[in-house]
Amino acid sequence: MTIIKAALALGLGLCLFGGAAQAQATLTGVKQKGYLACGSNPALAGFGVPDAQGRWTGLDVDFCRALAAAIFNDPTKVRFIPLSAKDRFTALQSGEVDILSRNSTWSMSRDTTLGLDFPAVNFYDGQGFMVKKKLGVTSAKQLDGASICTQQGTTTELNLADYFRANKLKYEVVAFASADETFKAYDSGRCDAFTTDASGLYSERLRATAPDDNVVLPEIISKEPLAPAVRQGDAQWADIVRWTHYAMLNAEEAGITQANVDQMKSSDNPDVKRILGTEGKYGEAIGLTSDWAYRIVKLVGNYGEVFERNVGQGSPLKIQRGLNALWSKGGLQYGPPIR
Amino acid sequence: MTASSGLLAQPFVRRDPVPAAPPPALVGGPVAWIRRNLFSSLTSTALTLAAVLLLALILPPLLRFLVFDAVWTGENRDACRPEVLGRPVGACWAFVANKINYFVYGSYPIEARWRADVFFALLAFGLAWMLWLDAPRRDLGAAYFFVVFPLASYALLAGVPALGLPAVPTSLWGGMLVTIVVSLVGIVVSLPFGVLLALGRRSRLPVVRLVCVIFIEFWRGVPLITVLFMANVMLPLFLPGDVTVDRLVRPLVGIALFSSAYMAEIVRGGLQAMPRGQFEGAMSLGLGPWLTMRLVILPQALRIVIPGIVNSYIALFKDTTLVSIVGIFDFIRTIESARVDPNWAAPTVSVTGYAFAALFYFLFCFGMSRYSRFVERRLSASHAR
């Protein structure tokens, strides 16, 4: 009860004195606190889920760990603050979290009107389709006349309409209020196809009564670049976030993994040297140490490792790299050079 | 003749009473009970048959799902997938067993979980002392429960680095721990606050009365979910960037104030029911207003409203699930999070999680309800019919 009284007094006092003193650099604030406050997803398979002991696992939470590794040389110095879709941006704007790493789609309106920046896309998602194998459908173009299960009032419904109109296909929407209901309906044979974001298709497929009887079609009909977000107006912090992602990409491209990063330190390859900080002081330019990228790879891993571990072949989800492959392998993940 | 005369010489005198014959089967015994209670009239018979039919429809599939087809052990999703087991799969209790630590403690650091265990033990001890009406020194028990226990729990759970208990940020608390902490704060704060507010509302001093009325009507006038959203989403916007009130404390304060307002109205109901004679009698004994309240009015008024109070506690206990909407990892939220774990993705995992939650909430609420019935019976001997 003492906490409550103290909090009340504090709350009242602060309401009176109000005022904003937020312009201070995020990095300084994070270092002062001694931990990174990371807005995360409360529950999204592969991106942010607690394991049996309550430790967070996933692509998005590992991004925050990478950031903490770069700043503190300790990936555990993160406090995850799980945020609902409703309060995620407010929490970032109010300074409650330092970064929002919570599968948020980077769109123009969010970028320009919310006072946010999306420094780098860490997962290219997009709406896809899943059908029963026995239908023999191999492309979304063959879905003419199909009934499609989707969630009510989401952009997936609009994307679906656009796609079928553009391709002059007929379809029937069967919409449900919740994601659970939607998938249940598809699984019980209520409709021919199920649509949601591709990452969601893979995680839903796992809970089907017979997962192997369902296939995800190759077409992606919408753009959902999922990106971490930071507050606008702190260029240094945005740089740190952006280059943390790029460092992970560059490490993968150069073949630096969590396992071989120590041997790689003595490599003669100038690219590797610059990434790992044995040559040049690139990390210091963004307010970190020159071995920042070494720390990230050593403590968390390169992008490919983090991807495979959380959503790829090392996880039950088994999502293909697809758009998230390195640019050199036909994907969109392109890390500008560290030099 | 001799034989008969001998009999006459020794007249038959019965020394033991005839053993009582059992009542006719149609008056006593189970058959009669059934006839009287289940088939006494046409309507009653129809209702009984309908109920039996309903049970016959619901129970077998329910039992089949929860018990007979259930999976009790397993390491991952394969344990609960019908195509792996080759039989229909009911509840996946293996999932609950695997995640039980998460459901109880949330993300509370593993090496510090003994502190949560000690908290549960202290709580059980305090509850037993308070709830067992014949326990010795219940005054000490109250002091323990309302002063020592909250301080000790705070020190244990949040941590006091000076005492060698490293701080545990509340963002790591979760599961039943948070559900119990939130409802306990609501329950413990709301009764004394509610009594004060109820007395204030009946006060003759206009300022006190006005303040209490405004407080009560304000908190009763806004939905709890609005309070929680204000606390967790809006409050940070009003505060300067470098100051944050803890994310768990915010809804705690909200819930405590909210439930106090409801409690105040319940207690006021009890106060209204007190006949004027009780006040006058107390006055004639020379008791001042405070003593009148403490010794005469409140004990009777509170006894009248026990059902109301317990009702509000049960509602509060269930309402704590709302904190999950503002990102607090209460028990329901941990189930929501655990069920999406791809390592446990199987058709019945979500349902199992919810069934487990239902069981948990039912046990607590039913326990509270039974206890209140017991106390009512104990205290209302004078009103017994």
Task: Identify all chain B residues contacting A20, using CB atoms and an 8 Å cutoff.
Answer: 240-241
* CATH code for position B133: 1.10.3720.10
What pLDDT does A10 receive? 45
Average pLDDT of span A33-39: 94
Q: Are B241 and A52 within 8 A, CB to CB? A: no
pLDDT, tens digit (0-9, with 9 covering 90-100), for A122-161:
999 999 999 999 999 999 899 999 999 998 877 788 889 9
Q: Is residue B165 over pLDDT 70?
A: yes
Strand pairing report for A36-40 and A78-82: parallel
Q: Is residue A96 over pLDDT 80?
A: yes
What pLDDT does B381 receive? 67
Average pLDDT of span B178-186: 93
Assign B133 to helix, strand or coil: coil
**Min Cα–Cα distance to chain A from B292, Å:** 28
- State the CB neighbour count (10 A cutoff) for residue A103: 26
What pLDDT does B39 receive? 86
Q: Are A207 and B346 within 8 A, CB to CB? A: yes
Q: Are A80 and B105 within 8 A, CB to CB? A: no
Establish if B119 belongs to a structural domain. yes
What pLDDT does B7 receive? 54
Assign A257 to helix, strand or coil: coil
Cross-strand pairs, A78: A36
Confidence of residue A16 (pLDDT cuts 50, 70, 90): very low
Confidence of residue B385 (pLDDT cuts 50, 70, 90): low
Dist CA B160 CA B162 (whole Å): 5
Establish if B268 belongs to a structural domain. yes
Dist CA A43 CA B338 (whole Å): 8
Q: Which domain holds residue B291?
A: 104-351+364-384
Residue with tokens 């007249």: B11
- State the CB neighbour count (10 A cutoff) for residue B206: 8
Establish if B17 belongs to a structural domain. no
Nearest CA in chain B to A203: B342
Q: Do domains A25-122+228-318 and A125-224 have the same CATH topology?
A: yes
pLDDT, tens digit (0-9, with 9 covering 90-100), for A274-325:
999 999 899 999 999 999 999 999 999 999 999 999 999 999 998 989 899 9
Higher-scoring residue by pLDDT: B267, A53: B267
What pLDDT does B5 receive? 52
Reported ipTM exceeds the 0.90 cut? no
CA–CA–CA angle A189, A195, A199 (5° rounding) = 120
Establish if B71 belongs to a structural domain. no
Strand pairing report for A99-105 and A224-231: antiparallel
Dist CA A279 CA A338 (whole Å): 11
Which residue type, as a one-letter code, is found at position B68?
F
What pLDDT does B6 receive? 54
Any idea which of A171-185, B7-21, B107-121, B130-144 has the lowest mean pLDDT?
A: B7-21
Dist CA A41 CA A197 (whole Å): 16
Class level of CATH domain A25-122+228-318:
alpha beta
Residue with tokens 């700043």: A71
Task: Identify all chain B residues contacting A53, using CB atoms and an 8 Å cutoff.
Answer: 101-102, 110
Average pLDDT of span B262-268: 95
Q: Is residue A12 over pLDDT 70?
A: no
Average pLDDT of span B258-276: 94
**Min Cα–Cα distance to chain B from A233, Å:** 14
Establish if B97 belongs to a structural domain. no
Fold of A125-224: D-Maltodextrin-Binding Protein; domain 2 (3.40.190)
Task: Identify all chain B residues contacting A79, using CB atoms and an 8 Å cutoff.
Answer: 169, 171-172
Contact B378, B133 (CB under 8 A): yes
Out of B101, B244, B333, name the one closest to residue A96 (CB): B244
pLDDT, tens digit (0-9, with 9 covering 90-100), for B10-66:
778 888 888 888 777 677 778 888 888 888 889 999 999 999 999 999 999 999 999
Residue B83 vs residues A313, B68, B372: alpha-carbon distances, Å: 21, 18, 48
Q: Distance of alpha carbon B298 from its chain centroid, rounded?
A: 23
Q: Is residue A15 over pLDDT 60?
A: no
Interchain CB contacts (distance < 8 Å): A and B: 169
Task: Identify all chain B residues contacting A54, using CB atoms and an 8 Å cutoff.
Answer: 101-102, 105-108, 172, 174-175, 334
Q: Are B233 and A87 within 8 A, CB to CB? A: yes
What pLDDT does B131 receive? 86
What pLDDT does A154 receive? 75
Which pair of tokens denotes residue A117?
Answer: 């920046």
**Min Cα–Cα distance to chain A from B327, Å:** 5
What pLDDT does A250 receive? 96
Task: Identify all chain A residues contacting B337, using CB atoms and an 8 Å cutoff.
Answer: 42-43, 49-50, 82
Dist CA B351 CA B154 (whole Å): 35
Task: Identify all chain A residues contacting B252, using CB atoms and an 8 Å cutoff.
Answer: 3-4, 7
Residue A297 vs residues A55, A73, A270, A325: alpha-carbon distances, Å: 20, 11, 17, 18
Confidence of residue A42 (pLDDT cuts 50, 70, 90): confident
Any idea which of A72-76, B352-356, B368-372 has the lowest mean pLDDT?
A: B368-372
Higher-scoring residue by pLDDT: A99, B146: A99
Domain residues of chain A, as ranges? Answer: 25-122+228-318, 125-224
Name the domain count of chain B: 1
Q: Are A203 and B345 within 8 A, CB to CB? A: yes
